[in-house]
Amino acid sequence: MLETRSRGGREVSAGAPKSLGAYLDRIRHDPAEFRTVSRRIVPQSFEVTAVLEHLHLRKEFPTVFFENPLDVHGNPSRFPLVSNLWATRERCADMLEIPRTKAGRELGPLYAELVDQKREPIIVSEAPVQANVLRGDDADMHLLPVVRHFEMDLGPVLTMALAMREPDETFYNITFVKTFPETGRRGGLTIHSAHMSRMTRAWERRGRPFPVINILGHHPAFWLGSMASTPWGDNEYATVGGFLREPLRLVPSVTWGKDFLVPADAEIVIEGEIDAVERTIVDPFGEISRQYQPQELAPVMHVKAITYRDGAIMQDIFSGHPEHMLLGSIPREGSLMRHLRQTVGDNVTAVHVPLSGVGRFVAYISLKKTSEGQPKLAALQAIAQAANLQTVVVVDDDIDVFNEEDVLWAVNTYVDPARDVDLIKNLRPPSDPRGLGSSRLLIDATRPTHKAFPTRLRVPPEVMARIKLEEWLDPVGQEGR
Amino acid sequence: MDRVFWATCPACMKAFIVNWELRHAGRQLICPYCGKRFLPDEAAALDERV
């Protein structure tokens, strides 16, 4: 049964709460930022990811808006689909209202500042996301344009986040979790994060079904904020308010009322219950490491309702590609920078968690070294703070950590492997599907200062400043006259 | 994730990766290529190298 309520139009007015549609309106006129696919497309047949992969191979990273996808039943979906939203650092900065010119080394620390600017959510009684309500057999996930991403994937997968509340508490956790719809009303959930796993175990000990929601679209700052590393007990609905720069609006769910609040300005929300004991087969799935997560057992969600705003847009993430990686790397750069400033000192100048390490496994750190051994201390602090890091490279401040060629030059020029490379064994394995074990690699690629050592060549800076290239090069076509 | 194995589907003969927790769990695997359900011991081939 479809209930249509009068509220919740797609139009956006000044002062309206932030929404995905409003953000897309900001970028839709720039072809470098936004492209559309208006022809019919079959997400379950890899056609969405084929379009995105072609763009990736051309090194073009627009948000792509698929206007006419089919749903899992093979019918035209009522929901358009958007993907590749977070694929550039500049666009991520823009989403957070940070100047695009600060998308380099400044972005991580500016992100970290937003983590502290929590805003308590506000509760409203009516919400755009509940303009349309599907219940019973009509609450069918197969009405959605669910994407099958990679050839070994078990099937189409919803890639956005779940929200869950701790039992007997009022704080919520928001975590990206894959949902594998087995049928329209039942799906497996790959819950791996520490906080949501802890909540799940607490609910399961009670032996009864418990509530969860799947949020399938919101303003992009909502998602960036959901990736913040926060302590257990923090209400992540308040955290994302800091990133939205306005309180997150919440509304009682249609299934549990005030016992479970859902984001009022989301695009689509699935309300479901997780069975306390049931497990089902999920995966393989092409994951962040650009490898397949192995087939495994996972909890089962039974769908109770699907609600959506008028003109709702469904979001998807192009897994294992820049948007997936940047969603994690920018928050990690911020939290690492903050931790290193506190534990090593203000001489730590930049942190980059590069895409070559999929935004998770490698960190480049630059500092103004004050003593031999300090780079190793910084590397140890980094692996203590970020459990997924496998390799840490520390360089001098004159090396640009956002220029990988520069970093590797330092590694290949300053590093004596016998002295400057350390292997740390028998740590907890990184939480990732690679199965590489439990060791870490620390590389001190700073210029040795404990002995006489060559220095880096350079053209004198004052001459570089004096020579303006456009004044010295002959105009094209007038060479040698 | 400490250990994985590869199972080759007895129907379509394509191989896929599986967490070791499913090797002796008594649960049927699902081939991502053709949907065939089968126990690990019914696989056309297993790669269990460590």
Q: What is the DSSP string of A117-135?
A: -----EE-S--GGGSEEEE
Using a CB-CB distance cutoff of 8 angstroms, which residues of chain A are in contact with residue B28? 281
Question: Quick count: other Cβ atoms within 10 Å of Cβ A458?
Answer: 8
Determine contact, residues A187/A179, Cβ cutoff 8 Å: yes
**Structural element, H or E, at residue A417:** helix A417-420
Report the pLDDT value the prediction gives residue A476, as an integer from 0 to 100.
87
CA distance A106 to A98: 10
Nearest CA in chain B to A192: B1
C-alpha triplet A306, A312, A318: angle, nearest 5°: 90
Helices (H), A254-371: 322-343
Determine contact, residues A271/A307, Cβ cutoff 8 Å: yes
Residue A163's DSSP bridge partners are: A174, A213
Give the tokens for residue A468. Answer: 């303006």
- Segment 3-42 of chain B within 8 Å of chain A by CB: 3-4, 16-19, 21-22, 25, 27-30, 32-33
The minimum CA-CA distance between A11 and chain B, rounded to whole Å, is: 41
Nearest to A362 by CA among A335, A403, A393, A387: A393
CA distance A363 to A445: 13
Would you call A292 an interface residue with chain B, using a CB distance cutoff of 8 Å?
yes
Nearest to A283 by CA among B42, B29, B12: B29
Nearest CA in chain B to A436: B2
Helices (H), A205-282: 220-226, 236-244
Question: Could you please report the per-residue DSSP string of A36-67?
Answer: EE-S-B-GGGTHHHHHHHHHHHTT---EEEES
In order along its 481 residues, chain A shows pLDDT tens digits of 445 443 333 444 557 899 999 999 999 999 999 999 999 999 999 999 999 999 999 999 999 999 999 999 999 999 999 999 999 999 999 999 999 999 999 999 999 999 999 999 999 999 999 999 999 999 999 999 999 999 999 999 999 999 999 998 999 999 999 999 999 999 999 998 889 999 999 999 999 999 999 999 999 999 999 999 889 999 999 999 999 999 999 999 999 999 999 999 999 999 999 999 999 999 999 999 999 999 999 999 999 999 999 999 999 999 999 999 999 999 999 989 999 999 999 999 999 999 999 999 999 999 999 999 999 999 999 999 988 899 999 999 999 999 999 999 999 999 999 999 999 998 876 565 555 668 899 999 999 999 999 999 999 999 999 999 999 999 888 776 6
CA A112 to chain centre: 15
Determine contact, residues A317/A159, Cβ cutoff 8 Å: yes
State the pairing for strand pair A257-263/A161-165. Answer: unpaired
Residues 6+ away with beta carbon under 8 Å from A55:
A35, A61, A62, A64, A84
Which pTM does this prediction carry? Answer: 0.92
Query: B6-35: string of b/e by CB count within 10 Å (b at 16+)?
Result: ebebeeeebbbbbbbbbbeeebebbbbbee
Contact B27 A294 (CB under 8 A): no
Q: Is A169 left (phi over 0), alpha (psi -120 to 50) or beta?
A: beta
User: Which residue's structure tokens are 């970020």?
Assistant: A386
Determine contact, residues A314/A82, Cβ cutoff 8 Å: yes
User: What torsion, rounded to 10 degrees, do the Cα atoms A274, A276, A280, A284 define?
Assistant: 70
Of A153, A429, A435, the CB nearest to B32: A153
Q: Please list the ranges in chain B whose pLDDT falls under 70.
A: 1
Determine contact, residues A211/A172, Cβ cutoff 8 Å: no
Of B4, B25, B28, the CB nearest to A294: B4
Q: Measured on CA atoms in the order A321, A326, A328, A332, is the torsion positive or negative?
A: positive
Using a CB-CB distance cutoff of 8 angstroms, which residues of chain A are in contact with residue B2? 429, 435
CA A346 to chain centre: 28
CA distance A471 to A452: 40
The minimum CA-CA distance between A36 and chain B, rounded to whole Å, is: 30
CA distance A35 to A63: 6
Under 8 Å CB pairs connecting chains A and B tally to 48
**Structural element, H or E, at residue A412:** helix A404-414
CA distance A300 to A277: 9
The minimum CA-CA distance between B9 and chain A, rounded to whole Å, is: 13
The minimum CA-CA distance between B47 and chain A, rounded to whole Å, is: 13
Determine contact, residues A336/A364, Cβ cutoff 8 Å: no
* Coil vs helix vs strand at B44: coil
Chosen for mutation from A192, A278, A292, A295 (greatest number of chain B CBs closer than 10 Å) is A295
Report the pLDDT value the prediction gives residue A5, as an integer from 0 to 100.
45
Nearest CA in chain B to A153: B32
Determine contact, residues A386/A363, Cβ cutoff 8 Å: yes
Q: In what order do the strands lie in the sheet with B15-19?
A: B15-19, B4-8, B45-47
Nearest CA in chain A to B28: A281
Would you call A436 an interface residue with chain B, using a CB distance cutoff of 8 Å?
no
Helices A322-343 and A107-115: crossing angle in degrees, nearest 10, is 80
Would you call B46 an interface residue with chain A, using a CB distance cutoff of 8 Å?
no
Cis ω for the linkage preceding A284 (within 30 of 0): yes
Residues 6+ away with beta carbon under 8 Å from A309:
A8, A10, A128, A129, A131, A132, A265, A266, A267, A268
Report the pLDDT value the prediction gives residue A478, as an integer from 0 to 100.
79
Chosen for mutation from B9, B19, B28, B46 (greatest number of chain A CBs closer than 10 Å) is B19
Report the pLDDT value the prediction gives residue A436, as an integer from 0 to 100.
64
CA distance A20 to A95: 10
The minimum CA-CA distance between B26 and chain A, rounded to whole Å, is: 12
Q: How far is CA A83 from CA A51, A97, A272, in A?
A: 11, 20, 24
Report the pLDDT value the prediction gives residue B13, as an integer from 0 to 100.
98
Contact A152 B32 (CB under 8 A): yes
Residues 6+ away with beta carbon under 8 Å from A424:
A380, A383, A439, A440, A441, A442
Chosen for mutation from B23, B27, B28, B30 (greatest number of chain A CBs closer than 10 Å) is B30
Would you call A433 an interface residue with chain B, using a CB distance cutoff of 8 Å?
yes
